[in-house]
Each structure stands twice: as structure tokens, then as C-alpha cells.
């Protein structure tokens, strides 16, 4: 026999499962753009989900948990970037895998160039561009996630896109 407490716990787990299936892939892709690598991005998103899971019973409106996750991912990415700045004194050796074809090499080079140009933008511009163009959030959603005004979102998006375009056209990050 399933009591009310067990039924509630099962409903909570199902709700978190639905949220995970819906949000995890897109949040990981956005986090990759913020932190620059898949493994760290997955860790950031998983940490955000752990936080939601811990607080699930205390979240009054489960429909708003997606916004909490977005904010947690952005904050987690900021923490990672701060930590990296501290440990830059001991740079890691990059392991570059061998490519199978010239097309793969070119694709990797272009991706690396875009990621490098994106990483060179000021933090707020990078965050706004990732949330806008990758997660497809509206200006109001970005403003809510980053806790800034919609006017600031517009300014950061415009300046960030212009700077990114200029860097990629000039080959500044090559």
C-alpha cells in the first residue's frame, strides 16, 4: 500500500524527471558556451539540478524551476571562470585529438575560433549572447535570469554581437 508521503515523493521524482529531460540538454549546451568545455558544463548543470532536487519540496511553483536552473547554471559558470582565473598560473596541457579528415579539422578550428572570440567578450555580453542565441530566451527572460533590466540586455546583446562579429572578421583570436 502506498501512503500519501510515498505518493508525494513519487510525484516529486516524476516532476524532477520531466524537468531534467526537458532542460538538461539545452542547459549543458549553453554552459559549454559559457565555460568552454563539455565536462565542466555537465558538472555545472548537474550541480544546478542537485540544488533544485534538494529544494524541490520547498519550491512553491514547480513551473518556475526552469528559471531557477538557468540562473544557477549562469552562477555556476561564473564560479568556474573565477576559479580558472585563480589557477591560470599553472596552465594545463591541452590534448588535441587527431582528426579523421580535413573537414573535421576545419570544423574544429572554426568552433575553436568562435569559442575563443566568445570567451574574449566581457562576461555580461557573453552571458546575454549565450542565453539569447543559444537558449533562445526572450529579453525579459534573460533580464530575469541575470537580474538586470531589459534595456541592459539589449545593450549587452548589441555590443556583444558587434564585438564578436568584429573579432571573427578581423581574425583577432587566431
List the domain boundaries for the chain. 1-95, 96-174
| pLDDT tens by residue, 41-79 | 999 999 999 998 888 888 878 888 888 899 999 999 999
**Distance in angstroms (rounded) separating the CA atoms of residues 147 and 22:** 23
Helix or strand or coil: residue 43?
helix
- Topology (CATH level 3) of domain 96-174: Arc Repressor Mutant, subunit A (1.10.10)
State the sign of the Cα–Cα–Cα–Cα dihedral 143, 146, 147, 148. Answer: negative
**Distance in angstroms (rounded) separating the CA atoms of residues 10 and 21:** 16
Model pLDDT, residue 79 = 94
State which residues of the chain have pLDDT below 70: 1-13, 89-100, 172-174
Model pLDDT, residue 6 = 47
CB 129 within 8 A of CB 154: no
Helix or strand or coil: residue 26?
helix
Q: Tell me, rounded to whole angstroms, the distance of Cα 100 from its chain centroid.
A: 29
Is pTM beyond 0.95? Reply is no
Amino acid at each position: 500500500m502506498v501512503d500519501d508521503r510515498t505518493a508525494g515523493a513519487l510525484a516529486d521524482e516524476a516532476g524532477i524527471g520531466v524537468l531534467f529531460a526537458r532542460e538538461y540538454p539545452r542547459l549543458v549546451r549553453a554552459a559549454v558556451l559559457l565555460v568552454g568545455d563539455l565536462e565542466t558544463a555537465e558538472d555545472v548543470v548537474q550541480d544546478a539540478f542537485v540544488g533544485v532536487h534538494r529544494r524541490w519540496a520547498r519550491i512553491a511553483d514547480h513551473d518556475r524551476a526552469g528559471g531557477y536552473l538557468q540562473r544557477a547554471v549562469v552562477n555556476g559558470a561564473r564560479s568556474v571562470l573565477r576559479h580558472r582565473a585563480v589557477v591560470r598560473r599553472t596552465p594545463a596541457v591541452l590534448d588535441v585529438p587527431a582528426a579523421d579528415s580535413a573537414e573535421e579539422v576545419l570544423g574544429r578550428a572554426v568552433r575553436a575560433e568562435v569559442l575563443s572570440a566568445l570567451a574574449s567578450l566581457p562576461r555580461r555580453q557573453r552571458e546575454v549572447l549565450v542565453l539569447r542565441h543559444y537558449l533562445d530566451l526572450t529579453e525579459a527572460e534573460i533580464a530575469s535570469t541575470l537580474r538586470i533590466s531589459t534595456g541592459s540586455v539589449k545593450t549587452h546583446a548589441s555590443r556583444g554581437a558587434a564585438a564578436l562579429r568584429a573579432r571573427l572578421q578581423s581574425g583577432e583570436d587566431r
